[in-house]
A and B are shown apart, each in its own frame.
Chain A
Amino acid sequence: MDWMKIFSALLIILMLVYIVPRAKGMLKNSPKASNNDMVAALIPLLLVIGFVFLLIKSV
């Protein structure tokens, strides 16, 4: 259905119009991360990736 594609694209464009200005603001105002902070955030995210990989293997 082509109109489904058009409406999906419209939805994503609307999301982008809403998010992009906020993304700029958040990028400007986000505090800088130390190496420790980055490691503390990356470890759980890497564990999530590993967990998802395990789920994929299990089905």
Chain B
Amino acid sequence: MNRPVELAQSQSAVLEVNKVLKNTYALLSVTLLFSALTAFISMQMEMPGFMPLVATFGALGLIWFVLPRTANSAAGIGVVFAITGLLGLGLGPMLNSYLQMSNGSQLIMTSLGGTGVIFLALSGYALTTKRDFSFMGGMLVVGMVLVLIAALANIFLEIPALSLAISAIVIVIMSGFILYDTSRIINGGERNYIMATVGLYLSIYNIFVNLLMLLGVMSDD
């Protein structure tokens, strides 16, 4: 008796998930382009070396205190652009320092391409298998806490091998977050495309930065 109602409900749930997915990927594409633009501006203006730190402080402030209050309104889109723009600005000095290496542009392009391949492959995997990766949440966050403790120690210890290990582990953890975030969208755990976009953007950003660091250290030049 209730079959038509159940069918209509499940169809509406599927439509809702598709809408969140479509909006997330559309906003993600635009914010990545916007980040690239602000990174380019930052490179042209030769922003000082402390810019990444200032940009990260600003972006985290927006993510922690402003985004949760605006994520359900149109203002949330502006906040996402502010976050991604700031993080893009912070990339400028790092990209400029890599460009001074003889194979710098190759390293940047390899990191960019590698990040794209990792994101597309993992998103495609989560989308096609439709598996629920919500069980990974606790492990990934604990992994992140351990990485932060190691990074904090390494600010003062300055062990190059530890720095490399941290970069490699961050790439794996962020890859896990791509699976986790995508599966949350597919399975209805995340219905806010603004929050979903920021989650995926941060994973992509961290993979790019850490891949660039790894390639920079491991390259021959």
- Chain A residues packing against B (C-beta within 8 Å): 1, 4-5, 7-9, 11-16, 18-20, 22-23, 26-33, 37, 40-41, 44-45, 47-49, 51-52, 55-56, 58-59
Secondary structure at the B interface, as helix, strand, loop or mixed, is helix
Residue of A nearest to B214 (CB): A56
Contact partner of A8 among B129, B137, B155, B219, CB < 8 A? Answer: B155
Q: Are A4 and B118 in contact (CB under 8 A)?
A: no
B152 near A: Cβ within 8 Å? yes
Expressed in whole angstroms, the minimum distance between the Cβ of A19 and any Cβ of chain B is 6
B75 near A: Cβ within 8 Å? no
- Chain B residues packing against A (C-beta within 8 Å): 49-50, 53, 56-57, 60, 64, 103, 106-107, 110, 114, 117-118, 121-122, 125, 129, 131-139, 141-142, 144-145, 148-149, 151-152, 155-156, 168, 171-172, 175-176, 179, 211, 214-215, 218-220
Residues of B within 8 A of A41 (CB): 133, 136, 176, 179
Q: Are B155 and A12 in contact (CB under 8 A)?
A: yes
Q: Are A27 and B138 in contact (CB under 8 A)?
A: yes
Q: Are A48 and B175 in contact (CB under 8 A)?
A: yes
* A26, B103: Cα distance in complex, Å: 42
Residue of A nearest to B134 (CB): A31
Residues of A within 8 A of B118 (CB): 48, 51
* A22, B136: Cα distance in complex, Å: 14
Question: Knowing A7-B53, A13-B152 touch, does A40 contact B145 (C-beta < 8 A)?
Answer: no
Q: Are B50 and A15 in contact (CB under 8 A)?
A: no
Question: Knowing A48-B171, A59-B215 touch, does A23 contact B57 (C-beta < 8 A)?
Answer: no
* A59, B151: Cα distance in complex, Å: 26
